[in-house]
Structures are given as structure tokens and as C-alpha cells.
Structure 1
Amino acid sequence: MRFLPTPRRRLLLAALSLAWASLAWPAGAQGSDFPSKPVTVYTAFAVGSGPDAVLRLVANRLALQWKQSVTVDNRPGGGGFIAIEAARRAAPDGHSLVQLDSEHLAALPSLYKSRNFDTLKAFDPVAPLFRTPFMVAVSAQSPWKNVSDLLAAAKAKPGSVSYGSWGVGSPGHLGAEWLEMLTGVEMVHAPYKEVSQLYTSVANGDVAWSFASIPSSQGVYKAGKLRYLAVAAPKRIPQLPEVPTVAEAGGPAALDVNSFVSLLAPKGVPAPVRAKIHADVLKVLAEPEVRERFNTFAFEPLNWSVDEILKNADTKAQQYQALIKKANISLD
């Protein structure tokens, strides 16, 4: 005989269901009362770097909006895994976020195959921050006047032209691999652990050239020890309007070396909380003072939706997978 609950039992079951639902959904899960406690943003970037500087500005503005402290916790090193693991262990309630670049999202699965780790299976993007272009930098004493000269030297003596980067699998490394693929040249890669050491080496002629972001290389550039042959982008950038694009400087027009940075949350954060973080970050990025600060670094503030972050990450993943396979790059 089937059990039929009485009206009183139905009310009791409904009350229990609501109670269990309230336990399953943490405070602030609906977004309206988020955050209910201090927020921590882990970052894979070092203190004093461009991404760190603008993240602290955004964090300060969010703290004013949210009336809760927003702390930046720098966890550089380990290919991004130190910051990733710290954020991954946090409760999925939106109060712990992580700042990563597009290479952490798109290249790690191909660089570390034995780990069987996919960043976007462990985290959800919640808000975009910025995109940065990269310059082709040489010593101020270099005889090369444009990218055409660089490529001519590389073609004349395959394997004789060296380039530096800030690590295996970095945009500086993969961008150069892409340049090699587009032009058929062969060059020698010299990875560096310290970005500052890299641009000092370029300035001294220890390596012939490197890709460079403006904030990372501006000290050596302003000292007159570094020159930019081109910007690896479809169009010139307003911060350095006199610097031509790679295509204008005699290189392949298809070369577009950039990186974008975004905020992510561990999987499981309720959708309303993720939506609130996205909307509040975009409000901050629209502030004139914030945009001006980003502009000093040649960082382009982004107003992407989460779907656009995922789409751009997928495009880069396909490109990086092909480059990593071609160059047989592995960090396992």
C-alpha cells in the first residue's frame, strides 16, 4: 500500500526541504548580499608588475562598492600553479578569486600534459580585466632598423639569431615560435626567470631581441637602452604612435601577439554571485581614473561577457596547441 502524506506531513516535508536548501546555498548565494565577508584575490603575478598594479586599483574600487576588504595575495611562480592551487582549495562562494592570463587558461593543458589539468574545468571566468599588446624590442645599439632586417639576419644564418622570453610557454616564447612558423626562419630561444634581467640582456646585446610589454620594459626603454622595432598587433597603439606594426615594419601581417587577463572563481560559485562580480568589475573598469591608469601601461580595459572570455581562450588554445606541438615544447 503506497504511503500518502497527510497535509500536515506535506507542510513538514516542505519546511525540511527549504531548510536543506538554505544549508546547501551559502550566504550571499543569490548575489544581492554578496560579499558577506572579506574577499581574497590570488594572483599569479609578482608584486610590482603591471597586472599586480592594476589589480590592486580594481580591488580598492571593489572594496568601496562592496563595503568589504578585498585583499590581493601574490602567488607567482610554478607556471601559475601556485596561485591556481591556492584558489582551487578555497570555498566556492565567490569570496576567493584568482587573476590569471590567457596563457594560464589556454596553454597549460598542452604544456603540462601529464598533470591532466585544464584550468577552465577547475574555474569559471567571472570578469575580464585587460588585454596587452607586445612590442618587438632590440638593443638601442642593434643594427636592425625594422622587422625585415631581423628576419633577413635570421634567414641568412639559421640558428644564429637569439631571442629571450620570460619563460618556456610564455607569450614571448610562443609568439616567437609563431613568427618562425609564419616566416620559415630558425632562431634560438633563451628563457629567463627574471623579466628585469631579460630586458637588461636585450639592452646589452646578450640576446638579439625579445617581445616586451610596455610596463615590463619601459624602464630600460626610457633609459634609452632599448628600441621598439614594431608592435605585434593589427594597428599601432596610441601610447607609442610612432612605432609601426609588424606588417608595416616588413614582417608577417598575421602576427598578433597579445595576452588578456581575467578574474576566475572556483567551480561551484552560484551564478547570481558570478553575475554580480562581473557587473561590479565592469563598473570599475568604466571609471575614467581607472581607464587612465590602465592606459599608462598600454592595457586595454575589456568589457567582455563571460562567453567572450571563453571564446577568446578557446581561440588561443587552438593556436597554442599547434605551436606547442610543432616546437615539441613540454614542461612535464
Structure 2
Amino acid sequence: MFQPRRTVLALGLSLAVSVPVLAQDKFPSKPVTIIVPHAAGGANDTIARVIAQKLVEQTGQSFVVDNRTGAGGNVGTVAAARARPDGYTLFITADSSMVINPSLYKNTGFDPIKDFEPIGPVATAGYVLVANPMFPAKNTAELITMAKQQPGKINIGSAGNGTLNHLIGEMLGKATGIDMTHVPYKGASAAATDLVAGQVQVSVQSLPSSIAFIRSGKMKVLGVVNPKRLPALPDAPTIGETVKGFGATPWYGMFAPAGTPKHIVTQLNAEIAKALESKDVQERLAGVGCEPFKSTPEQFAQLVRDDLPRWAKIVKESGATID
């Protein structure tokens, strides 16, 4: 049957408009995997599971945490970068994997800018400079005095060479001119265990991994690394109150593989924001010394771009390198 040209064109336009709408199926319509590049039980894993559980409640779909450990977080990060960009493989990581590892390793196997779509941050973690209870110094000022009187005699444990807590210790040394002996461990928990046992005198620890020791009196806080005092430890002064300008705010955030549709990124950012507004999530994060951290995907992308050169400078000054 003959149709006027105008009718055919109108039909064609109608189809052209409808195709994108049909392509945007309801998300999520099947289980979502969240890759975490660090071991179960750590701060990264704990935060990811808090968020995953809330996303299950909000969307009615499964969000499964998949721990892919190895190479300081690079194994899981590479797996996330190479995943299909359809929104069904996501990535929650500490800032160290994304903005520090590129300066530590000759080849991480991923590009933090080109290989990912930043969705949004989820939390900031409290970090503290802690000591064995028998250590004479009671605060940062006393530690600095002791370290200057005994250069190289105080041991500072870390989760390993080039890890965030190692680099924060190096930052403190540079800012104050003190020299402590770095003792790297295979993970923060091993460093914490030896600190409690008195094998090392001090350590920089995330609050999620140290809060139980602090509350039980097995560790004492010399100073808070973050620029502001922590709600979980309101009486503990910041290092910046003694060392002007000192401070760092470690973060955890969600990413998707590059090429993930924008509407999915936008939806996930909104779901995270909603989750972080809920009282139960706030309480669970506070229980491990963390605070909600929200931003737009664009603001989060800028944070990553800003942090890369900042940590590259710190890594270079520390002399830390891996492989």
C-alpha cells in the first residue's frame, strides 16, 4: 500500500526516538558483582559490604562482594577495569589502589583515568598514629621530641612498603624532620598485632582496623591523621594541631569500567547518596570509624585527578617502590 512520504518520515522518526528508550532496560535486572581488591575483614571490605547490603534493600537485587586480592590491590583493580561495562561489575576501593599504586609499580596493568568511570565516593576513613600502651610518649609532640633525641631508634610498623600507612609515616617524618625505622608487614593486621605485643612501638593504622584495640586499651592514640578530629575519638587531637598543615583524608569510592552507560552511573550515584543518608548505614560506618562521603561523579573524577600527582610526589620523596 502506498504511503505518503510525510507519513513514512514520521514513522522513521518515531522508531528512531523509541530505540534508545527500549535500550535502557531496568537496572539492575540481575545480580551485581562488586569487586574489592583487598582481603575480607579489612576496612575496604567492611565498607563495601555495608554499602552492598543497603543497595540490596533499595533495589531488590543482589549485590555480591567479590574479594580479588594480590599485588597491593592491582589484581582486583585490573579485573574491574577489564570487566564488561554494563553496570553489573562494579568496584569499591580504597584511594591507595587508585591513586598511589600507579606511582609505586612500574606497571599496574590499568590506567586510573582511562579505564574507569568514577561513580562516587562512599566514605572517608579515620587514620590514627597509635602506640603500644607502654611507649613513653603520650602524644605527637612527645613522639617528635623522643624521635629527635633518638634518631632511628623508634620502630614504626606499616601494612607494607608503599602502603597508605607507610606513606603517612613518611609524610610525618618529612614534616617534622624526625627519623624512625620503617618496619613493613604483610598487612595492617600483622602490624597491629606486633604493636600490641610490643615488637614495634608505633604505627599508622586505619580506625576500622584499630578501633577495637584502642577501646580495649591495647593501643593508645598519639594523634589523628585526618585534618579534623574524629567523631569516634572526639578527645584525640589531630597531628595537625601539633604539626601545622599536616593531614590526610583517606577515602573509599565506587567505580565502573570505562564505557559504562551514563544513565547507570547516574543511577548508582543516586543510590549511594540515598544509602549514605540512612541512619543505619551512618551508624555502621561510625562503628568502624568512618564517615559518609558524597559527591557527584564529576566531582569524584576531579578528586582522583587531583590526588594522583599529590601522592606521586609523596611516593617519590619517600623513595618507596615495588618491583
TM-score, normalized by length of structure 1? 0.87
What corresponds to 2:86 in structure 1? 93
With over 3 angstroms needed to count, the CA separation of the structure-2 counterparts of 1:28 and 1:187, relative to structure 1, is farther
What corresponds to 2:290 in structure 1? 299
With over 3 angstroms needed to count, the CA separation of the structure-2 counterparts of 1:115 and 1:101, relative to structure 1, is closer
Corresponding position: 1:313 with 2:304: yes
2:234 corresponds to which of 241, 259, 267: 241
Q: CA deviation at 1:210?
A: 0.8
Give, as a single letter, the amino acid of the residue that structure 1 aligns with 2:52. Answer: A
Q: CA deviation at 1:28?
A: 8.3
Matched-pair contact (CA < 8 Å) for 2:121–2:253: yes
Q: CA deviation at 1:320?
A: 1.2
Determine helix, strand or coil for the equivalent of 1:119: coil
Aligned equivalents of 2:144, 2:236: Cα separation in 1: 18
Matched-pair contact (CA < 8 Å) for 2:154–2:180: yes
Give, as a single letter, the amino acid of the residue that structure 2 aligns with 1:156. Answer: Q
Corresponding position: 1:176 with 2:179: no
RMSD of aligned alpha carbons: 2.6
What corresponds to 2:37 in structure 1? 44
With over 3 angstroms needed to count, the CA separation of the structure-2 counterparts of 1:327 and 1:69, relative to structure 1, is same
Corresponding position: 1:276 with 2:270: no
TM-score, normalized by length of structure 2? 0.90
Q: CA deviation at 1:120?
A: 2.4
What corresponds to 1:138 in structure 2? 131
Aligned equivalents of 1:28, 1:315: Cα separation in 2: 38
Q: CA deviation at 1:275?
A: 0.3
Q: What fraction of aligned residue pairs are identical, expressed as a percent? A: 33
What corresponds to 2:75 in structure 1? 82
Matched-pair contact (CA < 8 Å) for 2:223–2:239: yes
What corresponds to 1:66 in structure 2? 59
What corresponds to 2:221 in structure 1? 228
Matched-pair contact (CA < 8 Å) for 2:130–2:221: yes
2:26 corresponds to which of 30, 33, 55: 33
With over 3 angstroms needed to count, the CA separation of the structure-2 counterparts of 1:188 and 1:102, relative to structure 1, is same
What corresponds to 1:3 in structure 2? none
Determine helix, strand or coil for the equivalent of 1:121: coil
What corresponds to 2:210 in structure 1? 217
Gaps of 5+ in 1: 1-5
Aligned equivalents of 1:131, 1:35: Cα separation in 2: 26
Corresponding position: 1:165 with 2:158: yes
For residues 265-306 of structure 1, what are the alpha-carbon distances to aligned partners after superposition, in whole Å with 9 as ceiling and x for unaligned? 000101111100110111111111111111111211011112
Matched-pair contact (CA < 8 Å) for 2:121–2:295: yes
Aligned equivalents of 2:99, 2:256: Cα separation in 1: 16
Give, as a single letter, the amino acid of the residue that structure 1 aligns with 2:218. Answer: K
Determine helix, strand or coil for the equivalent of 1:107: helix
With over 3 angstroms needed to count, the CA separation of the structure-2 counterparts of 1:117 and 1:58, relative to structure 1, is closer
Gaps of 5+ in 2: none
